[in-house]
């Protein structure tokens, strides 16, 4: 892996994250921009999470059962366990364990 | 100060569990994807944002362009603006600690500091959470170098994390227009542009349609 590329990538992610955290403390005097910022920071998260869920599942295809059944079952396990228990860690662990087990032992 | 420390420590125990586990997961995934210990450490110290760091593994190992890394960082972490807006007056007179408090304002830290007015408490909670995250990362990186575990499928941690956050946001928001926008537009872009090129068009389409269909009432809530 190209070390310079990785370091630039990490630097980019760091700077943008830091910038986002500091934005309100720097710019909070301009009312109009503040409104747009406030609006975007309210509606963007759920849209982006929807996008990221799809992004994570992008490698699914129907050429063989291995390429979609484990992901589908693990997604259902994660979602239903969360709907019942509302416990982030529990759902992440059970979903991931399901996926790893299916991939390594059932659809191997 | 001693009492504040004790309260801060007890309050952050749930965060400690979460950060140690997710931090360790991050460290393990970084190592198995061929990144060095230093890379993992740099990310956890300086980015210090779970979803983006996990996404960063995928982006960096697939050789994504710096522009798409920048755009993804912006969009994934845009919610941090809201935390800053909300903590603006509480953090106003925190003196020398202020830059660090803003720097370390994560989702979990925000959920604790937002209900306090004590600046020592702000600092202790922010610092402890940051330390848990870094310790988790170090632990994960070390463990994957010592014992070899079959990590095939471990990357589902990221998928599960996003599914959980997505459902939580779905359940707590009054209007699911933006959630549906995200799902539908991204799926469309995936079909049209293919799995290697759909991220940037999706982001552009999502932001423009959210701005286009902005409802007047949403501004002043």
Question: Which DSSP category does B63 fall into?
Answer: T
Residue matched to tokens 């710096």: B66
pLDDT in tens, A56-100: 898 899 999 999 999 999 999 999 999 999 998 899 999 999 999
Q: Is B85 on the interface with A (CB under 8 A)?
A: yes
Q: Which of A21, A36, A51 sits opposite B202 (nearest CB)?
A: A51
CB of B22 closer than 8 Å to CB of A96: no
Asked if A51 and B81 come within 8 Å (Cβ–Cβ), the reply is: no
Q: Is B213 on the interface with A (CB under 8 A)?
A: no
> For residues A94 and A79, what is the distance between their CA atoms, to the nearest angstrom?
10
CB of B179 closer than 8 Å to CB of B51: no
pLDDT in tens, B88-128: 878 888 999 999 999 999 988 988 888 788 999 999 999 99
What is the count of residue pairs from A and B with beta carbons less than 8 Å apart?
244
Distances (CA, A) of B89 to A21, B8, B80, B94: 15, 21, 16, 10
Q: What is the ipTM for the molecules in this complex? A: 0.88
| A77 to chain B: closest CA residue | B160
> For residues B173 and A46, what is the distance between their CA atoms, to the nearest angstrom?
9
Distance in Å, alpha carbon of A64 to nearest chain B alpha carbon: 17
Nearest partner of A36 among A24, A26, A25, judged by Cα: A24
Distance in Å, alpha carbon of A68 to nearest chain B alpha carbon: 13
> For residues A24 and A17, what is the distance between their CA atoms, to the nearest angstrom?
13
Asked if A53 and B163 come within 8 Å (Cβ–Cβ), the reply is: yes
Asked if B46 and A93 come within 8 Å (Cβ–Cβ), the reply is: no
Structure tokens at B208: 């423009």
Query: How many other C-beta atoms are found inside a 10 Å radius of the C-beta of residue B147?
Result: 7
Contacting residues of A for B150, CB less than 8 Å apart:
104
Nearest partner of B14 among B85, B78, B107, B97, judged by Cα: B107
Asked if B179 and A50 come within 8 Å (Cβ–Cβ), the reply is: yes
Quote the pLDDT of residue A32.
Answer: 63
> For residues B13 and A89, what is the distance between their CA atoms, to the nearest angstrom?
14
Confidence of residue B207 (pLDDT cuts 50, 70, 90): confident
pLDDT in tens, B144-163: 888 777 878 888 888 898 89
Residue B184 — φ and ψ, nearest 5°?
A: -70, -50
């Amino acid at each position: 892996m190209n070390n310079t590329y990785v370091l630039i990538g990490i630097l980019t992610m760091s700077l943008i994250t830091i910038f986002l955290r500091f934005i309100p403390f720097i710019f909070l005097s301009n009312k109009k921009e503040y409104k747009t910022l406030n609006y975007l920071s309210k509606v963007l998260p759920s849209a982006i999470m929807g996008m990221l869920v799809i992004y994570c599942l992008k490698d699914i295809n129907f050429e063989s059962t291995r390429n979609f059944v484990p992901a589908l079952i693990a997604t259902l396990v994660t979602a239903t366990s969360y709907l019942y228990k509302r416990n982030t860690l529990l759902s992440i662990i059970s979903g991931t364990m399901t996926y790893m087990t299916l991939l390594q032992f059932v659809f191997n | 100060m001693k009492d504040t420390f004790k309260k801060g420590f007890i309050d952050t125990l749930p965060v400690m569990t979460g950060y140690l586990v997710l931090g360790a997961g991050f460290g393990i995934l970084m190592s198995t994807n061929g990144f060095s210990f230093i890379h993992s450490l740099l990310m956890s110290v300086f980015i210090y944002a779970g979803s983006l760091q996990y996404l960063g593994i995928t982006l960096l190992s697939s050789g994504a362009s710096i522009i798409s890394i920048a755009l993804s960082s912006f969009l994934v972490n845009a919610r941090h603006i809201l935390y800053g807006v909300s903590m603006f007056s509480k953090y106003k007179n925190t003196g020398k600690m202020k830059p660090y408090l803003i720097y370390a304002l994560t989702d979990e830290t925000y959920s604790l500091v937002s209900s306090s007015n004590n600046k020592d408490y702000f600092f202790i909670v922010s610092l402890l959470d940051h330390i848990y995250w870094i310790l988790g990362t170090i632990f994960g990186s070390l463990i994957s170098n010592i014992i070899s575990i079959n990590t095939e499928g471990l990357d589902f941690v990221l998928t599960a994390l996003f599914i959980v956050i997505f459902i939580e946001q779905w359940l707590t928001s009054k209007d699911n227009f933006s959630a549906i926008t995200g799902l539908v537009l991204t799926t469309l872009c995936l079909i049209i542009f293919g799995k290697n090129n759909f991220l940037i068009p999706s982001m552009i389409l999502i932001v423009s349609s959210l701005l286009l269909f902005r409802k007047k009432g949403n501004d002043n809530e």
